[in-house]
Amino acid sequence: MEDFLVQIKEILAIYGIRVIGALAIFIIGRWVSKGIRNLLRRIMTRSNVEQTLISFVCNLSYVAMLAFVIIAALGNLGIQTTSIIAVMGAAGLAIGLALRGSLSNFAAGIMLIIFRPFKLGDFIEGGGTSGTVEEIQIFTTQLKTVDNKTVIVPNSKIFGDKITNFSSKGTRRVDMTFGIGYDDDIDKARSVISEIIEADARVLKDQETVIAVSELADSSVNFTVRAWTKSGDYWGFFWDTTEAVKKRFDAEEIGIPYPQQDVHLYQHNS
C-alpha cells in the first residue's frame, strides 16, 4: 500500500509540474499575444490604415499566436503535437479547397482595402451595379443604390471588373445635348443656353464651359453643352438646366424638334 501511495505521489509530482508549466505557458502566452495584438493595432492606426484591415490583421495574428501557445502548452504536458499539427494542416487544406470562391473574395477584399480604389461614402460603378459604398467587408462590399436598395456584391466580382469612382475627384463634367430646328437661329439658341449656364452658381468658373454645334442630325441641329460642377451638384444641375432650357426655348420661340418623316404621295394617270 505504501509503494502504491509513493507511486501516486511521484506521478502527481511529475505531472503536477507539467500541468503548472502548461498553465503558465498558456497564461503568459495569451497575455503576450494580446500585448502584441494591441501594439500592432496602435501602429496600424497611427499609419492611417483602413479600420477594416486593422481589425482583420489584428484578430488573425492573435488567433495564430494563440494557436502556437496552445500547441506549446500541450507539448509541455508530454502530448505529441506532431499529429495535431498534421491534422490541422490537412483540415486547413480541405477547408481551402471547399471554400475556393470565398478565398477568392477574401483575397480581393484584402486588395481593395490595401489599394483603396474607393472609400466609404463614394459613389462607384463596379461588379455590374452602381451605388454609394456603405461598408467594405472582407468577403463582400455593400452598396446603396440611388433608389435606396442595398446591394451586396462579392469582392472578387468588383476587383476583377472595371471600377468607376464618381466621387474621387470632387468635380464632374456634365454633358448635355439640346436640339433646335433647322429653321431656328443658331446664335440665338447658343446665347440662351449660355445665359442659363452662366446664371447658375453651381457651375465652376475656373473650368471651361463648352457650348458648340456638334451634329446636324436628321431632324435637328444639336448643341453639345459641357459644364463642370461639384460631384454632389451633378444631378441637380443636370435636371434644373434641362428644364430651364426647355422653358426658355418655348419663351423665345425656339423649336425643339422631334423625329418625323414626310410622306409624299404621287398619283400617276394610267
Q: What was the pLDDT predicted at 203?
A: 94
For the ranges 43-52, 116-125, 173-182, which has the lowest average pLDDT? 43-52
Question: Which one has a higher pLDDT value, 84 or 197?
Answer: 197
Q: What was the pLDDT predicted at 237?
A: 95
160 and 247 co-located in one domain: no
Q: What was the pLDDT predicted at 103?
A: 73
Residue 268 falls within a domain, yes or no?
no
Residue 258 falls within a domain, yes or no?
no
19 and 39 co-located in one domain: yes
184 and 155 co-located in one domain: no
Q: What was the pLDDT predicted at 79?
A: 67
Residue 104 falls within a domain, yes or no?
no
pLDDT in tens, 41-56: 888 788 776 666 677 7
91: pLDDT confidence band, cut at 50, 70 and 90? low
Bridge partners for 210 per DSSP: 226
7 and 91 co-located in one domain: yes
- The alpha carbon of residue 130 and the mean position of all alpha carbons in its chain are separated, in whole angstroms, by 10
45 and 83 co-located in one domain: yes
**Number of residues assigned to the chain:** 270
DSSP classification of residue 231: G
9 and 94 co-located in one domain: yes
140 and 175 co-located in one domain: no
Domain of residue 136 covers 117-165
Residue 25 falls within a domain, yes or no?
yes
How far apart CA 44 and CA 38 sit, in angstroms, is 10
Q: How many independent structural domains does the chain possess?
A: 3
Can you tell me whether residue 170 is helix, strand or coil? coil
pLDDT above 60 for 21:
yes
Residue with cell 494563440: 66
Q: What is the mean pLDDT of the chain?
A: 82
Return phi, psi of residue 63, to 5°: -65, -40
For the domain that residue 21 is a member of, what is the CATH number? 1.10.287.1260
Residue 109 falls within a domain, yes or no?
no
Mean local confidence (pLDDT), 193-207: 93
Q: What was the pLDDT predicted at 268?
A: 72
Mean local confidence (pLDDT), 92-116: 69
How far apart CA 60 and CA 111 sit, in angstroms, is 16
Residue 54 falls within a domain, yes or no?
yes
Q: What was the pLDDT predicted at 69?
A: 83
Model pTM? 0.58
Residue 112 falls within a domain, yes or no?
no
pLDDT in tens, 217-270: 888 999 999 999 998 899 899 999 999 999 999 999 888 887 766 677 777 776
How far apart CA 114 and CA 167 sit, in angstroms, is 19
Q: What was the pLDDT predicted at 14?
A: 58
